């Protein structure tokens, strides 16, 4: 646990009692603060009480007496489409609003660091797609290289649940736009921006607000090194804003598909090969084509970003390459579930929007595509140029029939449920085919989250193959 500094003997309100909220409450208490806990959900309040926490009804006016800060969980809107009523109350009372990320950055460094040989560092990763894989890959590389490392944030543990820093340790944090937008302190040593595609636009008031939330990690944080994906105009703009000139190697540009051979520091992947260039010369290369945990161009971009981040810490290319080969990937993100009779079954349930589904569709050939759920704006119309590798689509969920209308000449079948979709795809699959779950939609019509949807896919595949063996 990281005890929160700066609030000893003072009242701090905590709104939202999920994983990060309860971790925040414990960390505030450990730092000597008096946490005042509340959640609009009766179930969340009951869970907190069951874990031994006391509640403070923040809907009461007198509950705000002497409160010096409100700490908000990331899922609670504070600006768009409209602020939560208690956040609006805090702003009206002049109470500063923060989140656990802000508390972490103000509390991570301690006096004990003066006795360490190597100062601990923080790598923070943000972006639309690939940030979880990039974060996990960085952590994996560091661990394989024997460097003490922890991983937290939007993946794994809450940041305040981390252990106090060891000598030379590196903490790798995944940050969503929700987390980056509200944190009052953002001071990573290395900041990583993977890419930007439209998402969460209602929460940020449009694409400009969404980009601005992620840009804060760089503009407010002032990292020593900035690793920036430049395959979109926003990334190119951000790299331009951060660099003092073309040869400024504090900014490392990353691309999947474009050769970057200018005078600065760049890492790019083309035709399955990762290349590192510095001062106009190639200094390293890695063949990514046979690395099973990183399939497809989108994962090659993640590999480039992770490679660049750890190279700033002095890790050798050969060490990074060896760690790439032992990386198993993350569940629900191009996860190879099984390969039987020449047919692969791949779980990419995290592909919750059209852009991330497009990347999955480009990573495989001869696809039997399980798609659908609770569709987002535009549906899957933008995926039509990427359907050449799809032999047939198997549609599930609320938007199955709407998606069917957008498939053009692509063969398809409305299956509605995961069970039927997996069964039908397996029945029709031939050697060389990939049965791919890449829904291009939210999960909330049939599942509480994308993880449960992916777990259902894995369970259906496992059961089907077990019956086939029996």
d(CA 142, CA 144): 6
Q: Within a domain: residue 75?
A: yes
**For position 456, which CATH number holds?**
3.90.190.20
Please identify, among 98, 130, 151, the residue that sits at the C-terminal boundary of a domain: 98
Same domain, 123 and 266: yes
Same domain, 321 and 460: no
- Known binding-site positions: 127-133
Pairing type for strands 149-153 and 121-126 reads: unpaired
d(CA 470, CA 465): 9
What is the predicted pLDDT for the residue at 206? Answer: 93
Q: Within a domain: residue 4?
A: no
- Known binding-site positions for ATP: 127-133
Same domain, 192 and 212: yes
CA nearest to 374, candidates 392, 400, 349: 400
CA nearest to 235, candidates 290, 287, 163, 301: 301
**pTM for the full predicted model:** 0.86
Q: Which tens digit of pLDDT belongs to each residue from 75-86? A: 899 999 999 999
Q: Within a domain: residue 1?
A: no
Sheet holding 190-193, edge to edge: 149-153, 170-174, 121-126, 190-193, 225-229, 251-256, 265-270, 273-278, 281-287
Other beta carbons within 10 angstroms of residue 401's beta carbon come to 11
Same domain, 143 and 282: yes
Domain count of the chain?
3
Q: Within a domain: residue 248?
A: yes
d(CA 232, CA 298): 13
Tokens of 238: 């951000």
Mean pLDDT by 10 residues, the chain (470 residues): 96 94 95 96 94 94 95 92 95 96 95 92 95 95 97 90 95 95 96 90 91 94 95 97 93 95 94 95 95 89 98 97 92 90 94 90 95 93 96 98 96 98 97 97 94 97 87
Same domain, 21 and 162: no
What is the predicted pLDDT for the residue at 375? Answer: 94
**For position 251, which CATH number holds?**
3.40.1190.10
> 422: domain range?
335-469
Q: Which tens digit of pLDDT belongs to each residue from 23-60? A: 999 999 999 999 999 999 999 999 999 999 999 999 99
Q: Is 333 helix (H, G, I), strand (E, B) or coil?
A: coil
Q: Which tens digit of pLDDT belongs to each residue from 368-407? A: 999 999 998 889 999 999 999 999 999 999 999 999 999 9
Please identify, among 36, 71, 98, the residue that sits at the C-terminal boundary of a domain: 98
Same domain, 412 and 381: yes
Q: Within a domain: residue 330?
A: no
Same domain, 179 and 316: yes
Q: Buried b vs exposed e over 174-197: b needs ≥16 C-beta within 10 Å? A: bbbbbbbbbbeebbbbbbbbbbbb
């Amino acid at each position: 646990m990281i005890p929160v500094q700066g609030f000893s003997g003072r009242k701090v309100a905590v709104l939202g009692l999920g994983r990060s909220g309860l971790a925040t409450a414990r960390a505030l208490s450990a730092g000597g603060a008096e946490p005042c806990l509340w959640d609009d959900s009766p179930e969340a309040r009951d869970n907190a009480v069951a874990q031994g926490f006391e509640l403070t009804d923040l809907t009461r006016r007198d509950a705000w007496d002497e409160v010096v800060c409100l700490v908000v969980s990331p899922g609670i809107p504070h600006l768009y489409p409209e602020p939560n009523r208690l956040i609006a109350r805090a702003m009206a009372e002049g109470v500063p609003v923060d989140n656990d990320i802000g508390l972490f950055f103000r509390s991570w460094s301690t006096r004990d660091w003066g006795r360490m040989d190597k100062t601990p560092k923080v790598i923070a990763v943000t972006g639309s797609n690939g940030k979880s894989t990039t974060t996990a890959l960085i952590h994996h590389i560091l661990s394989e290289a024997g460097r003490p490392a922890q991983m937290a944030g939007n993946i794994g543990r809450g940041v305040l649940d981390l252990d106090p820093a060891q000598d030379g340790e590196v903490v790798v944090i995944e940050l969503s736009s929700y987390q980056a937008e509200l944190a009052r302190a953002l001071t990573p040593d290395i900041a990583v921006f993977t890419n930007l595609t439209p998402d969460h636009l209602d929460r940020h008031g449009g694409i400009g607000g969404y980009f601005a939330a992620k840009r804060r990690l760089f503009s407010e944080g002032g990292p020593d090194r900035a690793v920036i994906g430049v395959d979109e105009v926003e990334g190119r703009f951000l790299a331009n804003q951060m660099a003092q000139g073309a040869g400024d190697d504090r900014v490392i540009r990353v691309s999947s598909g474009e050769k970057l051979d200018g005078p600065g520091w760049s890492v790019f992947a083309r035709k399955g090969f990762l290349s590192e260039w510095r001062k106009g010369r190639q200094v390293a290369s890695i063949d990514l084509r046979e690395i099973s945990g990183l399939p497809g161009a989108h994962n090659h971009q993640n590999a480039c970003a992770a490679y660049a981040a750890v190279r700033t810490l002095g890790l050798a290319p050969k060490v990074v390459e060896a760690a790439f080969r032992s990386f198993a990937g993350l569940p629900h993100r191009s996860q190879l579930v099984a390969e039987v009779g020449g047919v692969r079954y791949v779980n990419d349930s995290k592909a919750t929007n059209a852009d991330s589904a497009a990347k999955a569709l480009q990573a495989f050939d001869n696809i039997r595509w399980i798609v659908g759920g609770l569709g987002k704006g535009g549906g899957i119309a933008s995926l039509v140029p990427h359907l050449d590798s799809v032999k047939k689509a198997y549609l599930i969920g609320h938007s199955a029939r709407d998606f069917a209308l957008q498939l053009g000449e692509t063969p398809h079948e409305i299956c509605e449920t995961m069970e039927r979709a997996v069964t039908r795809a397996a029945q029709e699959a031939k050697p060389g085919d990939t049965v791919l779950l890449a829904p291009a939609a939210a999960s909330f019509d049939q599942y509480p989250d994308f993880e449960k949807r992916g777990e259902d896919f894995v369970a259906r595949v496992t059961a089907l193959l077990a019956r086939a063996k029996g």
